[in-house]
Chain A
Amino acid sequence: MELNSYQQQAFDYQRPNIEKFSKRNWFWIIFYLLWIIAGGYALYLQIAKGHGVTGMRDNVVWGLFIVNFIFFIGLSYAGAIIAGLLHLFKVPWGKPIVRIAQMMTIISVIVGPVFILLCVGRFDRLHHLFFYPRIQSPMTWDVMAVLTFFVGAVLFFYMAIIKDLAVYRDANLKIPKWRQKIYNILALGYRGAASQKRHLLISQNLLALIMIPLSIIVASILSWIFGMTLRPGWHSTIFGPYFVVGALYSGCGVLIVAMWVYRRMYKLDKYFTDKHFVYLGYIMLALAAGYGYFTFSEYFTHWFGSEKWDSELIHKLFSPGEYGWWTLFANLFGILLPILIVAIPATRKVNLITAAAFIMVIAMWIKRYLIIVPTLETTLLPMQDTRTEYVKYAATWPEWVLTGAGIATFFLFFTLVSKYVTVVPVSGLEEAEPHFTHHPHHQPAPKKEEVNPA
């Protein structure tokens, strides 16, 4: 694989990252593994003793696990949409960050479904989903959607790294033989011939074209697991688009945070420039406004219409004794804060945008909790149950540990993938990057940060 000088430079710069693990890498990997082991123990307890070890009960039948499922799988859909759009529209500044978006897609589509499996009472009967599928169930739609999406995401990621794999194969990296062999096999004999380039581009275009609508469909299907039931707060026509925008929004936040971490970890300031943060910040702002609009529509119509159970739910969500503070946090820090940070020029700085994105991601996780749990606690018939754990959901430690293990797995994969493929795609940097950084309009003033997009 031949690289131009700019690409070669990018590759040489990142070469040590994929050649060896630093001590720091090992430290974090072991840290994540410890979490995962703890999660394994919690999982063992849940399987051996039954779901009684969780805080889920007959009224609140789903808890943290489904919140995590929505959260992670949403990141996955967001990654696919962002990577697909950046690819299709040949966004010049998008080239260096496409890889992170794709990593997010594939890692979350592995981590997310694990959490829905944790909600299932009988692991041993999962094959029933395929032996006795019932097509009218939104759960069946979701199984089909997630599996289709998974295949698409793997292919999409793979197509995007083939060129780079060819680069690694030809670079005489100081790596063990088996890795060399794997690069050799996975590169599929790519040499950069004109026909190979064309085929690859067509495949990528097609996959991008498929993955964008597919992401929207699967995110909607996920929302319909809730939207199709007759429960207050769930049975809503805007749930599909609401979940799509929510997924994109939190995905955008995770992308910003991941970019920031990689930039620091591998000193990639040259490729993840301040501009990237600002541009993604703008996208985040637009999505925040969209998500805020949907949230407002939901709460406002429920409150104004004031049907019996809707009112009860709204009361729960907004009274300080129940979920009031969480609702305030989710909307203040999940919607308003990112808008303000990006909108005000003085705060439109890399670290602040990243901090806002980070807090927003947490707030969006809480928002998912607020979508799931309060609705399940609002039964149509009075509960009249004296067992507190049946009336009000409280996550137990196995649920928290398993949640931690999921997050650790997410980080572990991000660490590991970055040791086998470069975080900035080197062969993808054709033209775009030099053009971008040397563009006269974008020449930053020495001190005052450039914030206006071209």
Chain B
Amino acid sequence: MKQEETHDKGRRDFLKTAAVATVAATACGSLACSCSSKKAPAGDKVKLLSPDGEIVEIDSAYLNHQEHMAIISKLEAREGIAGKKFVMVVDLARCKNARKCITACQKWHYRPEETEWLTVKLIKDSEKAAPYWFPKQCFHCDNPPCVKVCPVDATYKRQDGLVLIDNDRCIGCKFCMAACPYSTRVFNWDEPEVPFDIKDLAYNPETGIPAKVGTVEKCDFCPDRAREGLLPPCVESCPNGVFYFGDENEDTVTNGEETISFTQLIKDRAGYRYMEELGTKPRVYYLPPKDRQFPVERGYEDLEPEIKDRFKDIMEPEKKKS
């Protein structure tokens, strides 16, 4: 590695070469090289593979932890985490459209503001029914219509229940988007603005970054975080504990504050899956908005006008008529 060239750059700036990812994948777990001159050399050298295919030796002190590092191979990213069956429970009674989940998700995945992997809809099931806030990620269906139609195996179902997309494989035919009845998937219509610090990160379906033009992407349940024992940012960031994330095999879900039995929660609160009649068998369960903690208006009043517009039809139907 050309140390002179990279010496002066900040550590974040350097991290990004593909080699680092290779290194991490082959040798050191979630470690990466950072050639910050502030650190004192530890003395023991680590052999690394450079982008040019050369073996170079670097002092172990210059390796540091990096988020979003592709710590696993593409093959592992296709197989999934053994023994797990990820599941999510969304408590509709607690959601007040605080939208912290969206911000956190977009920040974690470096998404531009307008493309939401996670959206909050305002659902009003029928004319007289009461509207409620409805956060919606990818449902990671057990019978996924998107996976069935992918012609190149770019989107796939893993043993841990996740449906992921390999953006190196995707040809951008958008068939999966037409097939998904929940309109979960988004497309990179234009060259995505990729922040400099992740620009050269090795792509892995588990991290989903950096985004690529002409390919499809969607919520991935953050398996890279799950591998490290962390909850997805949407779960962590929710001020009201709306999202419970966990493992069906362990029969445990947690919203970060309380950890409870998945089956018990579903049983006690009459959990259900959205649009069960489609036969897609989602891995996301909803708890009905009974005994709500917030009136629905709480999530509407203080919204930015642009976002407020989305829900005007339901919240202010009389305005629409005039």
The chain A residues found within 8 Å of chain B, CB to CB, are: 49-52, 56-59, 61-62, 119-122, 125-126, 128-129, 131-134, 136-140, 143, 225-226, 228-231, 376, 379-387
Contacts and interface: CB of A to CB of B under 8 A. Distances in A.
B178 A229 contact: yes
Contact of B174 (A119, A132, A134, A231): A119
Interface string B177-221: 111011101111111000000000000000000000111100000
A62 B189 contact: no
Interface stretch (B54-62, B67-75, B304-312): B304-312
B189 to A, nearest CB: 4
Interface in B27-48: none
B183 A120 contact: no
Contact of B151 (A61, A139, A231): A139
Contacts of A386: 306-307, 309-310
B266 interface: no
Contact of B214 (A51, A229, A380, A385): A51
A12 B270 CA distance: 84
Given A121-B173, A139-B175, A384-B119, 20 more contacts: A50-B214, A51-B187, A56-B174, A58-B177, A58-B187, A61-B178, A62-B174, A121-B213, A128-B171, A129-B151, A134-B152, A134-B153, A140-B151, A229-B145, A229-B179, A229-B181, A380-B183, A382-B122, A382-B123, A387-B114
Given A121-B187, A128-B169, A230 B149 contact: no
A59 B149 contact: no
A382 B182 CA distance: 9
A125 B212 CA distance: 13
Interface residues of B, number: 46
Contacts of A119: 173-174
B170 interface: yes
Contacts of A129: 151-152, 171
24 contacts: A51-B172, A51-B214, A56-B189, A57-B189, A61-B174, A120-B173, A121-B172, A121-B213, A121-B216, A122-B170, A125-B171, A126-B171, A128-B171, A132-B154, A134-B153, A137-B148, A140-B151, A228-B149, A230-B181, A381-B182, A381-B183, A384-B310, A386-B306, A387-B114
B84 interface: no
Contacts of B152: 125, 128-129, 131-134
B281 interface: no
Given A122-B170, A134-B150, A58 B310 contact: no
Contacts of A122: 170-172, 214-215
Nearest to B212: A122
Question: 6 closest A-B pairs (Cβ-Cβ)?
Answer: A121-B172, A121-B214, A139-B151, A52-B190, A52-B189, A61-B174
A137 B214 contact: no
B278 interface: yes
A44 B125 CA distance: 45
B230 interface: no
Given A381-B121, A384-B121, A387-B114, A61 B311 contact: no
B109 interface: no
Q: Which among A57, A125, A384, A387 has the highest number of chain B CB atoms within 10 Å?
A: A384
A138 to B, nearest CB: 6
Contacts of B190: 49-52
Contact of A379 (B153, B183, B191, B215): B183
B136 interface: yes
A59 B172 CA distance: 14
Given A132-B152, A138-B149, A384-B121, A58 B185 contact: yes
